[in-house]
Amino acid sequence: MFSSKTGGAAALAIALWSILSLCTACDKDVRQFKGAYSSKTSGSLVLRKAISAEQDSLLLPDTLTVSLSPESGQMRISEIKDDQDGYNLLVSVNLLGGDALSFRAKADGDDITLETTPHERYLQANISGNLKMTLGVTTGGSGRIYDDVIVFALDYQGGGHYLNVPYVIIDSHVDCIATSNE
């Protein structure tokens, strides 16, 4: 049998091994996402009129489904050390001919969760034909890695004006596909 000294040492060794195993798993979560990616974003949004029917002299529809103009760019995912809120990744995106964006993110296994951006950005949405509207949005979402591809489901929040009538986003169907450049 174990003496109290060897039993205590064995228990301590098992506890330390468990902690180290968890840290190694956390590092693996981060490592598999790190790198450079080419990305493409597209999708649609559902918007609801933000005023009452009595205020709408044009009698516009209560809801609109709009298609987003596709966006392409370069994405880099880097590790964050010692973030006080528990975020362990920084996702930076440089859109071709457009905005530069950054998100703090959390990796957990094959999943990644983006913190909603604290800043609003503007993008074009197509209503029908040549009709377009500009939307002010904040972006968040989550994704999953599959070998060398990350598939993100993005959540856009915000709104815009169509023929001077305000609309807010009530549903977001936006995907971003990021393919590893390495």
Question: Is pLDDT above 80 for 180?
Answer: yes
Question: Is pLDDT above 50 for 135?
Answer: yes
- The pLDDT of residue 7: 59
What percentage of the chain has pLDDT greater than the value 70? 84
- The pLDDT of residue 8: 58
Mean pLDDT of the chain: 86
When pLDDT is cut at 50, 70 and 90, the band that residue 21 belongs to is very low
Question: Is pLDDT above 50 for 15?
Answer: no
The number of CA neighbours under 13 Å toward the Cβ of 69 is 16
Question: How far, in Å, CA of 91 to CA of 78, rounded?
Answer: 7
Model confidence, pTM: 0.81
Residues 6+ apart with CB under 8 A from 112: 33, 89, 91, 105, 106, 142, 143, 144, 145, 150, 152
Question: Is pLDDT above 80 for 16?
Answer: no
Asked if 140 contacts 116 with a C-beta cutoff of 8 angstroms, the reply is yes
pLDDT digits (tens, 9 = 90+) for 39-81: 999 999 999 999 876 777 778 889 999 999 999 999 999 999 8
